[in-house]
């Protein structure tokens, strides 16, 4: 069963592929099936942005007969920064400077005030056009330096327990991550809906 993931982020597509393959789903990106859907992520929330992306790809997937279209919007919320970068996580600073910007803004802030969470909102549109929206979160804190070689984005500075996301294996990360939590909720909802 094919699911189109409305993302250009190869890290996200890979994570979805790893998590959905054991359930019998083949994950492909929109570009893999010839869909170009440039959308303006101008929603005020992660949920709104996920829906905007999913709907744009779904409307262009007619005739491709996927099982469904899945899109997410996710990001990092740092309590000390008033929830920033939030929905602007991918645009918080120039490419290659995002983690440094967060670390610089937290310079001198003690560990107990560096609480943060990753948030992932997934919108799934089934082949009949019905929507399911779910939210997953992972609580943690911002470390003091980049740690680890795995993952992408803010993973090297986000600590979940004693390890950064970038220090975890794919299996470890998927078990605790915001994306894993959202996907487990989605799979439960899909099972409930038959």
Q: What tens digit of pLDDT does each residue of 22-46 get? A: 878 899 998 888 888 677 778 999 9
Q: Distance (Å, rounded) from C-alpha 133 to C-alpha 186?
A: 8
pLDDT above 70 as % of the chain: 97
Return the beta strands (E) in 92-179 as ranges: 115-126, 131-142, 158-160, 163-164
pLDDT tens-digit map of 69-119: 999 999 999 999 999 999 999 999 998 999 999 999 999 999 999 999 999
Per-residue pLDDT, averaged over 165-170, amounts to 95
| pLDDT value at residue 189 | 86
Domain count of the fold of the chain: 1
Q: Which residues constitute the domain of residue 70?
A: 2-192
Q: Can you tell me whether residue 27 is helix, strand or coil?
A: strand
CA angle 122–21–169, rounded 5-degree value: 80
Q: Which domain CATH number covers 169? A: 3.90.950.10
Cβ atoms 157, 119 nearer than 8 A: no
- Examine the residue annotation and report whether 32 is marked as an active-site residue of this protein: no
pTM for the whole structure: 0.89
| pLDDT value at residue 66 | 66
Task: Say yes or no to pLDDT of 194 above 60.
Answer: no
Q: Which of 42, 73, 79, 170 is catalytic?
A: 73
């Amino acid at each position: 069963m094919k699911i189109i993931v409305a993302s250009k982020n190869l890290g996200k597509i890979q994570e979805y592929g790893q998590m959905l393959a054991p359930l019998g789903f083949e994950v492909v990106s929109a570009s893999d099936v010839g869909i170009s859907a440039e959308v303006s992520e101008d929603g005020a929330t992660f949920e709104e942005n996920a829906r905007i992306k999913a709907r744009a790809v779904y409307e262009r997937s007619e005739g491709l007969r996927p099982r469904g279209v899945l899109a997410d919007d996710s990001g990092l919320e740092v309590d000390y920064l008033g929830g920033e970068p939030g929905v602007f996580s991918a645009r918080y600073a120039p490419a290659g400077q995002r983690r440094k910007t967060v670390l610089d803004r937290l310079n001198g802030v003690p560990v107990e005030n560096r609480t943060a969470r990753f948030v992932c909102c997934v919108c799934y549109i089934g082949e009949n056009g019905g929507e399911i929206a779910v939210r997953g979160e992972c609580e943690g804190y911002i470390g003091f330096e980049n740690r680890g070689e795995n993952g992408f984005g803010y993973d090297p500075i986000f600590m979940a327990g004693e390890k950064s996301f970038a220090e975890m294996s794919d299996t470890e990360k998927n078990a605790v991550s915001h994306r894993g939590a959202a996907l487990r909720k989605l799979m439960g909802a899909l099972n409930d809906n038959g």
